[in-house]
A and B are shown apart, each in its own frame.
Chain A
Amino acid sequence: MALVLTEEQSMLRDSARGLISDKAPVSHLRHLRDSKDPAGFSKEFWHSFAEMGFAGLLVPEEFGGSGLGYVEAGVVMEEIGRTLMPSPFLATSVVAASALNRGGNAAQKSEYLPKIASGSLLATLAIDEGTKHRPLQTSLQAVRAGNGFKLSGAKALVVDGHVADVLIVAARTAGSAGEREGLTLFLVNPKAKGVAIERTIMVDAHNAARIELTNVEVNADSVLGEIDQGAALLDGVLDIGRGAVAAEMVGLSEEVFNRTVEYLKNRKQFGKLIGEFQALQHRAAELYVDIEITRAATMKALQALDADVAKATSAVAVAKARAGTTATRAVQEGVQMHGGMGMTDQFDIGFFMKRARVCEELFGDANYHTEQLARARGY
């Protein structure tokens, strides 16, 4: 498989870029933030997004979706990264749709997937509990009660948690924190008794929530995948999410870089364009190379996911680790090279820095994924 977009993928990119840059430039995020929008994204725009087939991009055609792959999802994520558009695409269309499609039984798939594809249902994965992404440390308890389970515990960084119609909650049905055995995914109604959801206003003005479950009753049909054997399903779903966030970070990095290079070509000091200074030229050139390498690694990871999710872990770890360090460097250089302007809220660059920081934590930061690679390679 060549590491370039096919003609169809390029067309998808162009149509996503056209729509997103037109309807949801960075000012869109700024407006949502400043108006303290209760949803945190534009429902109207999400519906037009769905009408164009993006909401159901990964949903199989038999359930009303487009049946496309992870490379295509990455193409859309990259465009989202360019304008920092807040949207349910990541949580619902990529992560939750993958969890349901890969782990769901026939009834669950036909109940949820068509609604995801039509844009009428929002869903999200609730995984993190501590300060850092540590999936195996999951300790939210699911205790058998009658025909079902009772769930108790807390989750953090639940993307779109306060607007989701379905929560996919990772819980421990056996074993103890740190063990692979004993993890189970549950579909939880956020309106069920015992569910407390606190919207957390985040540094990046994107949606997230803290969720607390206190003896929340779910029936046996709410189990997604196999009881106690949720780790494998979770690995795949998380890797898909990681690949998608890496793609978002590539788009974000490239956009902030393009804006910075443009600034170097226009800003004058000491009677010169600052882009003439070699100190800045070389830093810009290094950053360009970093972004190109990370783009290739990300494309490689997305192709690996399309080929076989279960075998993509190392490629995904490389991509997410690279995306983290590259985006961090891109936004830091972006602010630094814009000088005082980069520090103002009025200027957009800061939004990129804030979003990059959140993307870095989402589904594991560069340290986490570098560590995973070291373990996978046995040293």
Chain B
Amino acid sequence: MTDSKTSDSETAELETFRAETRAWLEANCPPEMRKPAASDADVFWGGRNAKFSSEPQRIWFERMRDKGWTVPDWPREYGGGGLSAAEHKVLRAEMGKIGARPPLSSFGIWMLGPALLKYGNDAQKKEHLPKIAAGEIRWCQGYSEPNAGSDLASLQTRAESDGDDFVITGSKIWTSYANYADWIFCLVRTDPAAKKHDGISFILFDMTSKGVTTKPILLISGYSPFCETFFDGVRVPKSHVVGTVNRGWDVAKYLLQHERAMISGMGERGVGRPLGQIAANSVGTDAQGRLDDSMLRGKIATFDVDEAALAACAERAVDLAKAGQAHPAFSSAMKYYGTELNKRRYEILMSAGGVDALEWESERSKQGARPRAWLRTKANSIEGGTTEVMLGIVAKRILDLPGA
């Protein structure tokens, strides 16, 4: 098979980009940033009150930000790197090779940004995207409500028209890090008379607005990453609606695709030491160097097969999107599999850790890091749409099964 001349020169350009990227990363990524974050406290989320947990973290963030590589594929005018899909893939691969962690974690990057790029108006893009890219504003997501979980479209938080403003009243739940967030992207009901999907709007507002309160929820992990969030007559300009009033469900669904892609990535997070080595260190090996627990060894090997296969599928999903052949609901398929796989990973880690993995409070256990992380993964197949909802979406939208 012979390539055309164009693709030959494209390949050459890409290889030049790869070499430059590799050299830049080598020169600019501090050694401390070439391993996964030890805990959530070691992750940089940005925001008005952000603090760096270490000097290397600051250096790494600032260097990447200055290159536009906190959001490598966003347009340069919004603080992005302006990379093509192929270049972005190269950057990810090169970062992966040296184990470089993302310089900035952000719901603005993973969720709101893509939705604003598609549905936002010029003013909204100019106002919000550069601050997301630069890590200046930390966002949270106001989606679920106490009575609107899997059935998200039945949400009841209402936004009543009052002149140039909406006045928002109601409550949200499972708002990740609402207590640290500067702004919220929020689903509100603007037309209570319409059918449930048709009366929803997607609106942005500042969490310091009068009438906003948050209350962290203590989870089984002993941490409180989620909050209850209350709105008591919060006044928000109508210009803060993204897309059309009452058509917020389109924006919400589009954003969910990105959220699901983000969560599915947890299952193929091939970072840190391989499971087989972790298990060998704690369980021991036999005379032939094999893990001294043949059933566990089998589970790990099967996990490794599935993890490698999922990584290929994630890569292919990106390539399909680039080629215009992706099914819009495919992120639901990936979300289902990736989260179930991540739960398997942590079941294996707990089994491999044995007694050591049961300690909840000690220096030795880093304050129970493993059991807490294990418990945290149980939310993966619930948040952003449960496994059952994902399978329903695949059945209905991809397989076109009846009545789903």
Q: Quick one: CB contact mask for B29-73 with A, threshold 8 Å, 1 for yes? A: 000000000000000000000000000000000000000000000
Decide yes or no whether A234 CB sits under 8 A from chain B: no
CB distance from B194 to the nearest CB of A (A): 27
Closest 3 CB pairs of A and B: A379-B276, A297-B309, A3-B316
Asked whether, in the complex, the Cβ of A289 is within 8 Å of the Cβ of B394, the reply is yes
Asked whether, in the complex, the Cβ of A276 is within 8 Å of the Cβ of B392, the reply is no
Residues of B within 8 A of A276 (CB): 401-404
Asked whether, in the complex, the Cβ of A69 is within 8 Å of the Cβ of B1, the reply is yes
Residues of B within 8 A of A8 (CB): 1
Distance in angstroms between the alpha carbons of A253 and B10 in the assembled complex: 36
CB distance from A16 to the nearest CB of B (A): 15
> Within B304-362, which residues are at the interface with A (CB < 8 Å)?
304-306, 308-310, 312-313, 315-316, 319-320, 322-323, 325, 330, 333-334, 336-337
Number of B residues with CB within 8 Å of any CB on chain A: 50
Most buried by B among A4, A9, A299, A315: A4
Asked whether, in the complex, the Cβ of B322 is within 8 Å of the Cβ of A286, the reply is no
Q: List 29 A-B contacts (CB under 8 A).
A: A2-B323, A3-B315, A3-B319, A4-B319, A9-B1, A72-B1, A265-B401, A273-B403, A276-B404, A281-B404, A282-B391, A284-B399, A285-B336, A286-B391, A288-B399, A289-B334, A293-B312, A296-B309, A296-B315, A296-B316, A297-B308, A318-B308, A318-B312, A319-B309, A321-B305, A370-B298, A373-B301, A378-B276, A379-B300
Distance in angstroms between the alpha carbons of A69 and B313 in the assembled complex: 21
CB distance from B344 to the nearest CB of A (A): 14
Q: Which of B304, B313, B394 contacts A285 (CB 8 A)?
A: B394
Residues of A within 8 A of B404 (CB): 276, 278, 281
Decide yes or no whether B274 CB sits under 8 A from chain A: yes
Decide yes or no whether A68 CB sits under 8 A from chain B: yes
Residues of B within 8 A of A273 (CB): 402-403
Most buried by A among B289, B298, B399: B399
Decide yes or no whether B291 CB sits under 8 A from chain A: yes
Decide yes or no whether A275 CB sits under 8 A from chain B: yes
> Within B263-304, which residues are at the interface with A (CB < 8 Å)?
274, 276-277, 279-280, 285, 289-291, 297-298, 300-302, 304
Distance in angstroms between the alpha carbons of A10 and B146 in the assembled complex: 49
Distance in angstroms between the alpha carbons of A373 and B301 in the assembled complex: 7
CB distance from A287 to the nearest CB of B (A): 10
* Nearest CB in chain A to that of B277: its residue: A379
Asked whether, in the complex, the Cβ of B312 is within 8 Å of the Cβ of A299, the reply is yes
Residues of A within 8 A of B262 (CB): none
* Nearest CB in chain B to that of A3: its residue: B316
Distance in angstroms between the alpha carbons of A315 and B204 in the assembled complex: 45
Residues of A within 8 A of B396 (CB): 281
CB distance from A288 to the nearest CB of B (A): 6
Residues of A within 8 A of B302 (CB): 370
Residues of B within 8 A of A4 (CB): 316, 319-320, 323, 325
Q: Which B residues have a C-beta under 8 Å from some C-beta of A? A: 1, 86, 274, 276-277, 279-280, 285, 289-291, 297-298, 300-302, 304-306, 308-310, 312-313, 315-316, 319-320, 322-323, 325, 330, 333-334, 336-337, 388, 390-392, 394-396, 398-404
Decide yes or no whether A322 CB sits under 8 A from chain B: yes
A278-B404, A371-B301 known, 4 other contacts, Cβ within 8 Å: A292-B333, A293-B313, A299-B312, A318-B308
Q: Give chain A's interface residue range (CB within 8 Å of chain B).
A: 35 or more
Distance in angstroms between the alpha carbons of A273 and B323 in the assembled complex: 35
Asked whether, in the complex, the Cβ of B394 is within 8 Å of the Cβ of A265, the reply is no
Residues of B within 8 A of A377 (CB): 274, 276, 304
B contact face: mostly helix, strand, loop, or mixed: helix
Distance in angstroms between the alpha carbons of A68 and B1 in the assembled complex: 6
Asked whether, in the complex, the Cβ of A2 is within 8 Å of the Cβ of B305, the reply is no
Known: A318-B305, A322-B305. A288 touches B337 (CB 8 A): no
> Within A1-60, which residues are at the interface with B (CB < 8 Å)?
2-4, 6, 8-9
Q: Which of A285, A286, A296 contacts B312 (CB 8 A)?
A: A296
Decide yes or no whether A294 CB sits under 8 A from chain B: yes
Distance in angstroms between the alpha carbons of A315 and B388 in the assembled complex: 31
Distance in angstroms between the alpha carbons of A275 and B308 in the assembled complex: 32
* Nearest CB in chain B to that of A2: its residue: B319
Q: Which of B301, B320, B337, B392 contacts A370 (CB 8 A)?
A: B301
Residues of B within 8 A of A294 (CB): 309
Distance in angstroms between the alpha carbons of A314 and B305 in the assembled complex: 9
* Nearest CB in chain B to that of A300: its residue: B312
Most buried by A among B280, B395, B404: B395
Asked whether, in the complex, the Cβ of A285 is within 8 Å of the Cβ of B300, the reply is no
Distance in angstroms between the alpha carbons of A299 and B315 in the assembled complex: 11
Asked whether, in the complex, the Cβ of B291 is within 8 Å of the Cβ of A379, the reply is yes
Asked whether, in the complex, the Cβ of B305 is within 8 Å of the Cβ of A288, the reply is no
Decide yes or no whether A374 CB sits under 8 A from chain B: yes
Decide yes or no whether A264 CB sits under 8 A from chain B: yes
> Within A337-379, which residues are at the interface with B (CB < 8 Å)?
369-371, 373-374, 377-379
Known: A281-B395, A374-B300, A379-B277. A2 touches B401 (CB 8 A): no
Residues of B within 8 A of A281 (CB): 391-392, 395-396, 399, 401, 404
Asked whether, in the complex, the Cβ of B394 is within 8 Å of the Cβ of A297, the reply is no
Residues of A within 8 A of B390 (CB): 285
